[in-house]
A = this chain, B = another copy of it.
């Protein structure tokens, strides 16, 4: 049991299992992940906005928000995307198999899939995998970890976070798991995450909290700007903490702590982006609206020229400033200010004198690079986390052949 395993505090009201059923080649890698709710749980979901979306996205979207979810079943190794009518049937069958094992209705089981696109699920393997998982659920860290491993594809390791929120003398546990390294893998696509809490949230509260948290965490990460067909973020609230419903103010406090946990998880994705040698933190401040700030941060995050400059340890402010300029956001370029790792590079529309070696050294000397842009158009801001772009990214994605 490693450090992170010991530290994870798991909300009450849930049981977990992760097993290998043969979707992944390596028998030591779990490919079925099951979370069972002891009693009907509140659930909320946020999904990919891709017009081409997978069967489980369609299934879950029509069933959340809900106040009676009993389980989430996830398979990794196959995305069940672009699989037509048979894919829809297979997704429904996954829910039905789980429902049968735990004594629930299929409609109260959510489904997630991640892996190769355009291949039908091997349902025999899935069936035996679900049976095995259902027979060995546990409430402790090892079971939680196995479930967290069961949603991974090309990730280098599990991605977890947990927090304890103390609100008006009550204690709530929050724990989450996620997967994703960008849409980095051959025909693989997906960011998946499940956040659990024992707080008593209504379906409406859960959906509102999740939407806001997603906007500031999982929707603020970029590896390669290629949106997947399977992105799913779920929140399950068991209410097992046992207290009264939460007031608006208590929900806000819970949301703030949940945001911390989600940001911790979200950052792990670009940090593990295929071939990534830097995690780039982009702060855009002084915008008229948060939407403006986010648009700019995303253009900077997605520019291959900015990414490769960071890869090379080059304080190439021209690439950053010009990316700001094409984000489609109105601003006065003569006021634009740029800092890299806290060093001023550009102010009032003109470059300032700086020691390039010092800035370059600060990029090369740290895994995290901080890009700070200020626009002086208002008070809104946004933060985006991105991977850099390396030779290994290109090799990985070009050398593979379907």
CB within 8 Å of B: which residues of A? 49-53, 81-84, 116-118, 183, 186-187, 189, 224-229, 302-306, 308-309, 311-319, 321-326, 329-331, 333, 336, 346, 348-351, 356, 360, 389-391, 393-395, 397-402
Contact = CB atoms under 8 A, between A and B. Distances in A.
Given A50-B325, A118-B351, 12 more contacts: A50-B322, A52-B321, A52-B333, A53-B333, A117-B318, A117-B322, A225-B303, A229-B325, A315-B402, A316-B402, A360-B401, A389-B398
A308 B224 CA distance: 12
Nearest to A312: B398
| Complex A-B, nearest 5 residue pairs according to Cβ-Cβ distance, in ascending order | A52-B325, A117-B318, A312-B398, A308-B397, A227-B326
Nearest to A332: B51
Given A312-B397, A326-B227, A391-B394, A305 B183 contact: yes
Of A49, A305, A315, A390, most B-chain CB atoms within 10 Å? A305
Contacts of A346: 82
Given A398-B311, A401-B312, A402-B315, A322 B49 contact: no
A336 B52 contact: yes
11 contacts: A52-B333, A53-B325, A81-B322, A226-B303, A226-B304, A229-B322, A304-B393, A305-B397, A308-B397, A314-B402, A391-B394
Contact of A304 (B50, B330, B397): B397
A15 B325 CA distance: 36
| Copies assembled | 2
A85 to B, nearest CB: 9
Contacts of A333: 51-53
A316 B188 CA distance: 11
A391 B389 CA distance: 10
A116 to B, nearest CB: 8
Contacts of A229: 322, 325
A316 to B, nearest CB: 5
A394 B50 contact: no
Contacts of A84: 348-350
A331 B50 CA distance: 11
A169 to B, nearest CB: 45
Contacts of A309: 397-398
Nearest to A119: B351
Contacts of A316: 186-187, 402
Contacts of A226: 303-306, 319, 322-323, 326
Contact of A311 (B117, B317, B394): B394
A304 B389 contact: yes
